[in-house]
Amino acid sequence: MEHSVIFHKILTDLNLGSFVLQPQRVSGGFMHKMYCLETTTGKYALKLLNPVIMKRPSAFQNYQKAERLERVLQENKMPIVPAMEINGRKMQCIENQYYYVFPWVEGSALPGDEIKEEHCKIVGELLAKIHKIEQIEKPFVRDEISIDWGAYIATATTECPEIADKLNSYREILYACQEEFNRALKKIPAVTCISNGDMDCKNILWVNGNPLIIDLECLDYGNPFCDLIYKQTPTI
C-alpha cells in the first residue's frame, strides 16, 4: 500500500483530524521511516516500523517489554517522548504496517562535534536516574563474544580485498580484545536495572538546554556498569 493511502487511513482510524500540510519525511531512524504529520488536531511524528524487523521471532516480545518499561519511565517523571497510547495501545497496525505515533517535539539532536562536557554530564545524570528506578541483585547475563575473525578475513580476501590486508594486520589485536572483553564480563557486579540500549546522541533532543530521550524501543533490563563503557546492541 502506498504511504499516501496509509497516512489518510491512520488519520481516520486514530481520529487525528485532517491534514493541514502534506506529510514530510524527516531524518532519524536507520531502520525505520519517520514522518511529520501536521493535522487539524495537532502535530505528530509517525514512525513506520521496518517490515523486515517485524518478521523477527522476538520482535513483538521485545517491543512489548520496551513499552512496559517506557511506562515505568513515564511514571517516574523521566524526560522522554513516549509513544502515544491510542485505543488502549501504543503500537498500531494498518494493512500489516506496524507504526507508532508521537507528539511532535520542536527540539534538535546535537551532532557529535557539538557535544560538550556539560551535555555529557546532564545525560550521564539522567542515565543514572533511570538505573536507580529498578535495581535487582542478580547476575546480568550477556553472551561472550565468539567471532571467527579468520573466516571474515578469508571472505574479505575475495569479496572486499581493499580491507582484507588491514583486517589481517589486526587479526591478533581483534582476538586479544575479544578475550579481554570476555574476561571483563565475568567481573561485572551482579546488578540488573532498566537500561536504554540506544541512548545515542541522535536519540536525545535538546529543548532550551534540556534533554528529551526519544526512540525508546531498545529499553530492556541490563547492567549499569556495562552502560558506562559501551552501548548495548539493540535486541529488536
CA 111 to chain centre: 17
* Domains of the chain: residue spans and CATH: 3-108 (3.30.200.20), 109-141+189-229 (no CATH), 149-185 (no CATH)
pLDDT score at 224: 84
181, pLDDT greater than 90: no
| 16-25, 86-95, 187-196: least confident range | 187-196
pTM of the model: 0.79
Q: Could you please report the per-residue DSSP string of 101-136? A: EEE----EEPPGGG--HHHHHHHHHHHHHHHHHSEE
Q: Around 222, how many Cα atoms within 13 Å sit in the side-chain half-sphere?
A: 27
CB proximity list for 84: less than 8 A, separation 6 or greater: 44, 90, 100, 101, 102, 103
201-226 per-position pLDDT tens digit:
889 999 999 999 999 998 998 888 87
Q: Could you please report the per-residue DSSP string of 9-48? A: HHHHHHT---BSS--EEES--SSSEEEEEEETTEEEEEEE
Helix axes 171-185, 149-159, angle to 10 degrees: 140
pLDDT score at 29: 60
The answer to whether 213 and 203 are in contact (CB under 8 A) is yes
